[in-house]
Amino acid sequence: MQSRGSMVLDTRTLLSPHDAVYPVMLHCDCRTERCIRSDGAPEIFSVDMPNRALRHLFENNRKWVAQTTKTDPTFFRRLAALQKPKYLWIGCADSRMPPNELLGLMPGEVFVHRNVSNLVDNTDMNCLSVVQYAIEVLKVEHVIVCGHYGCGGIHAAMQNQRMGLIDHWLRSVKDVYRLHEAELNAIKDVKERANRLAELNVREQTRNVCHTEFVQRAWHRNQPLAVHGWIFDIADGIVKDLGMTYTRETQLQPLYRLEDK
């Protein structure tokens, strides 16, 4: 629906008195936020009806603001003035692993990029832009790649079912499986195999972070920067260090080391 002008035309799907779903044309006056049905029936809702189902979220936000400012009256003033996190978190988009809560950090303390199965693909301009900005502008000191057990993307990559666009995205996880096929196929329990693949995927994506020119240039100019691989267990809420931390390019395989001519 347009946000300006006195009259606009909108098509919405409404519930009839008998709970039947059908489309109806609405003449909406954006100045008064009043909608009239084209079939002549009385006005039944205002323009902001879709937000009514989300009203509790706005209420939660106001409560959070009130509680935060009560505890720390200058919190939002400081938050608006500067963004200087020490950490970049690259994690899965799964709704059960919000980084601030997991790490016990406040807003402004962690820069975040999330996608399905926490991938760092060398063709993903979104992810690479985040990495570059975090390192070169925000000067983060730690990049954390964190996967999790019970990851739906990991389980999907272990199957052969056609699912659409995400099949292309999960190719990277399948490639990780191929690299460790003998080890993974030896694990008979499917859940355990998926958990091991989640760990191996984190290891591979952590290396992918280190292979970027942004990370290696930072190391070349002696900028403090460490790249870590972690895994999160949704069942108990514990984050585990997978024991791989990179702090210099000499830890990489020679093929991936970038040097100026």
> Is residue 172 within 8 Å of residue 181, measured between CB atoms?
no
pLDDT for position 54: 87
CA 135 to chain centre: 18
Confidence bin at 49 (pLDDT 50/70/90): low
Check residues 31 and 136 and name the one with the higher pLDDT: 136
Among 31-35, 65-69, 106-110, 240-244, the range scoring the smallest mean pLDDT is 31-35
Fold of the 84-256 domain: Beta-carbonic Anhydrase; Chain A (3.40.1050)
Q: In the beta sheet, which residues pair with residue 151?
A: none
Q: Where in the chain is the domain with CATH 3.40.1050.10?
A: 84-256
Q: Which of 148, 203, 207, 228 is catalytic?
A: 148
Q: Amino acid identity, residue 42? A: P
Asked if 113 is an active-site residue, the reply is no
Q: Is 57 helix (H, G, I), strand (E, B) or coil?
A: helix
pLDDT for position 3: 44
In the block, residue with structure tokens 């002696």: 222
Q: Which of 31, 96, 171, 248 is catalytic?
A: 96
Q: Which of 151, 193, 207, 210 is catalytic?
A: 151
Q: Which of 28, 35, 94, 196 is catalytic?
A: 94
Q: In the beta sheet, which residues pair with residue 231?
A: 147, 240
Asked if 27 is an active-site residue, the reply is no
Q: Which of 92, 127, 146, 210 is catalytic?
A: 92
**How close are the terminal C-alpha atoms of the chain, in Å?**
55
> Is residue 107 within 8 Å of residue 79, measured between CB atoms?
yes
Confidence bin at 40 (pLDDT 50/70/90): low
pLDDT for position 39: 55
Asked if 94 is an active-site residue, the reply is yes
Across the chain, what does the average pLDDT equal? 86
Asked if 151 is an active-site residue, the reply is yes
Task: Give percent above pLDDT 90 in the chain.
Answer: 69
Asked if 10 is an active-site residue, the reply is no
Task: Give percent above pLDDT 70 in the chain.
Answer: 81
CB-facing half-sphere around the CA of 227: CA atoms within 13 A? 28
Position 172 pLDDT exceeds 90: yes
